[in-house]
Amino acid sequence: MYPQDDPRPASEAGMPWYRGVSRYAWIVLAISAMGWLFDTMDQNLFNQLRNRSLRKILEPDFAHATSRAFDAAVSSWAGTLTAIFLIGWAVGGFVFGVLGDRLGRTRTMVITIFVYAVFTGLNGLVHTPWQYALCRFLTALGVGGEFAAGTALVAETWPSRSRASALGALQASSAIGNICAAMIALSLANAGWRWAYAVGALPALLVLWIRRNVKEPEKWQAAHDHAKATGNPSELGNLGELFGSPRWRTNTIAGVLIAAAGVGGLWGVGFFLTDLIQKTMRPIVEHYPHIIAITNPAVHKTTVDAMLQTISSKVSIAQQVGAFIGMSSFAPISQKLGRRPALFIFFVLSFLSVQAAFYGIRDVPSAYILAFTLGVCALAPFAAYAIYFPELYPTRLRATGIGFCYNGARLLAAAAPMLLGQLASHFAVAGDETAGLRKAASIVACVYVLGFIGLALAPETKGKPLPE
């Protein structure tokens, strides 16, 4: 018997999900959660630093331009870099999803963590927007691949009765990673954005722990041995089979649409909340008495930027506390109502919370409240991707399918941040930096319609074993 097997008999299935689980299964969950935590930390460092870093990088080229032209360039590049990151994320997800089925879950997770950690550190060395874009793309390759490997590893290690809750906990760790990113940006607000990216390289050390403590799961090993014995290794991670079989094809189309709604809503709108906060609070901060008293323009500007970074980081922490609650709540709700009804509810709430946040935030108190609400609603569907997607595919295609759904969605959703940036510039109003972003966000949030289409095609998997 493998060390990850649960020795408890089926008659004990009524016990709490966390009881009767082997020590090894907990180790796998802890390591996978840390890999995903650091993954999302490195993702969200960019969201925290995007506006501030771009303003610093673009300043030399816009030294004699109007403030409106400078702000428009920053908004446009912010959308472009986010879109490039999502495309790289999708490419990494496709490539490493297939490798997760062919090389194994553990080996793939080691490679992806090393890639995203190293290139996150290199983000701090860029000096032009195109250098920034290249580093974001390379970082995204590792970011996109880690999720599928870690999710498949946990799904195949934990017993069926506990699988949904364990995967929900895995996804909820992403909120902790996002909080860590906000804390890093907050603590280094005065030190400069480059140092924050340097901290993002530290997760590379996690690969040493993984290599020593995690084996390939029994289910994958059996599928690998079968493919080897039959002389048909290509059946592992066969992308063509995702669309060759009617069952897997329908599941894949549904999964991509469901993921595109959440990814587009979050990365195309929700994670631009930090930009809205900084634009909304800049006039308020600039008129603080002790800021006005600073007569040196350079010192004045640096002080204002640091204060804005502090405010946006604190608001992001509130958003991610909400995200942790939202993702943690999805597992029990989906266990009671089913995967599809739970997703439907949260897609509706996500759309409404985006509208409330981008039109309702006018000061610091409203920012905390509405950012928290947005975090609860817009991040909850991401727990579904960890719980639901492994239930759509057999072992030989599981990492490939998870990677394709989650990252195919990113190709669709990559247009969302670019559209947001262009619409924000188009709807810009002189004297109000926030008007264009508010209106653009309300339009781009319609991406949640894709989720409803996907749910109409999707099967209900509540209470069913993993397909083989």
Alpha helices in 1-104 (DSSP H): 23-58, 67-102
Percent of the chain with pLDDT over 90: 21
- Token pair of 55, please? 């303003």
Residue 266 in domain: yes
User: What is the reported pLDDT for 234?
Assistant: 66
Question: What pLDDT, in 10s, does the model give residues 379-396?
Answer: 999 998 888 998 998 888
Residue 309 in domain: yes
Q: How many domains does the chain have?
A: 1
The CA distance from 103 to 142, in Å, is 16
Residue 7 in domain: no
Query: Which whole number is the average pLDDT over 106-115?
Result: 88
Query: Which whole number is the average pLDDT over 46-63?
Result: 85
4, pLDDT greater than 50: no
63, pLDDT greater than 60: yes
The CA distance from 30 to 18, in Å, is 13
CATH number of the domain bearing residue 107: 1.20.1250.20
Q: Partners of 432 in the beta sheet? A: 429
Question: In whole angstroms, how far apart are CA 258 and each of 8, 406, 410?
Answer: 35, 9, 11
Query: Which whole number is the average pLDDT over 34-61?
Result: 86
Residue 5 in domain: no
What range does the domain containing 360 cover? 20-457
12, pLDDT greater than 70: no
Residue 464 in domain: no
Query: Which whole number is the average pLDDT over 217-239?
Result: 76
Residue 85 in domain: yes
Residue 8 in domain: no
Question: What pLDDT, in 10s, does the model give residues 318-359?
Answer: 988 999 999 999 989 998 999 999 999 999 999 999 999 999
Buried-state track 274-296, b at ≥16 Cβ within 10 A, e below 16: bbbbbbbbbeebeeeeeeeeeee
Residue 465 in domain: no
The CA distance from 91 to 106, in Å, is 20
